[in-house]
Chain A
């Protein structure tokens, strides 16, 4: 009996020993063998994707969600609100979008895409700084500055100073738009300083934007600085020009000119999922079919360009038969079917491997032209700066300048001759030219100009067509001045303002 007792004790002890001696080793199996974590992720692995995302946001395209409906993950509706694009007749009209009834779920996708991309850029900056790679950090600061400004331009006050510190601030407070703008100027100055450091050898390959050309990064910073200044031209700098900032821009090499576009190309090609984002969504599929069944020319814009004999029309849109056929925005019945009206043209959807633009050269030249008009820069005459920007738009689209001689020499001159001598009229003239050039390229910029100048940059009518939607349920006679904060913010962040305030740079 006693021996049984002993042996049972022994067996119990034996099992206890074998199970707990190896206990730690048995249990230490929680290191993820599948996914990258902060322990092994590096800045140069995040940067290329973030740069492509900046371009995808710019062109209102997004990889996996190519939905063209309102309230999707991008600002494609601005292309329609600004009169560039419309819906073909074989789709029922989107009631919300065409009646300008924005709601709280309209911007969930836009908001999260911007912040996701900004967070990746933030991680690049943090990781690059930690590893002493100041040049890569500076590049991500510059790309971030572009997106931050756009967030302010779309929503007004936004979480900025408390953003991306999840452990400290689960509910980031909202910073005033003006404060964010000011911080961006400082950031851009700081980035230019950081470019004084030496780039890592790998930067030339990591930098799929400028292939390691630091002088171009500095010019990009300058161009963004000018864009920030110009946005406030009707408020902050209405009476006093921002001379100190302008001097910095001049001192650091000025803004982009002809042939200097910011774009990104990691190696796009004509296969599924590898096409350049804009081409993938608005051009042709890898199999050669039309990628978009909903983006079509808008009669308003078609008439505007036809009246001015502007040859760029057939680069913005494809011909149907011998001409560009538009649709009327907001019309419930009577628009041509998708196959019978003009899809996006070859000036924008050039080829599947095209570089994805982040900021085209002509847009920067229009910044310059507006600065000249406002007397902020004096290196050219207004009409010269304007003409050069338009010519650059032709070149960027691939439209031979010779086709536009008529437009450039007569129309522009005549229009310019009829423009008043006051700065506001002249700015409106420049921004109208900019508006035309930005069709399908940067509707957000066109919308911002339009709002900044009290709707004067785009005519209300062109022939029989109006800029505004013809949907009879349209709630207001103006295009909305901002988007509402998304539902997701109201759900998750108690600091979200409940009242919508005017965007600070609006007059």
Chain B
């Protein structure tokens, strides 16, 4: 049993020697290997593009959830003003649950952004290596005997192969992380759709309706008081004179 570093090396080398074993004619191997590298580079590019799209979508979901936080806060305030502490409490507990989910999402998004930067750098390295391989393969074909070429190909192709495996792993891990984030975002969505009000008049759940009523009622009270003030009426009922 060995540490992670030696283990990773052993596996990468084993996978690669399997690929080289398929080689027979050096010239053919070179061309085939080069084609495979281009395919792999395309896969990496596509993988990165998919990740960027997924991350964008998650960021949108996250900012929508942020808006819901503000809404819940506002609702709690209004409920409290209307003397409905129970409703305020409920709105605040939903806000807390949502906050927890958003925090987790933000953290994961940051890690993913770091991984993506590395992936893009790795993709550039891979492209450079493939270009170097392309020019070297022509030199090898022209200048070396079959036996020598075999050795040269082995070295060059193994170097590229390791890098492909390395970046392939990075893409795979970023994809796993995106999947985890999507699961978390789904939980956030559930909290926002079940908890907060998109629209005061829409048919939300019971809390939504009650909060809407409270908010509407206090709005009506406010406006009524304002109108009364304009008309010079006291909002208090008129006092009854004594003795009558």
Do the two shown chains form a genuine complex with each other?
no
On B, residues with C-beta under 8 Å from A are none
On A, residues with C-beta under 8 Å from B are none
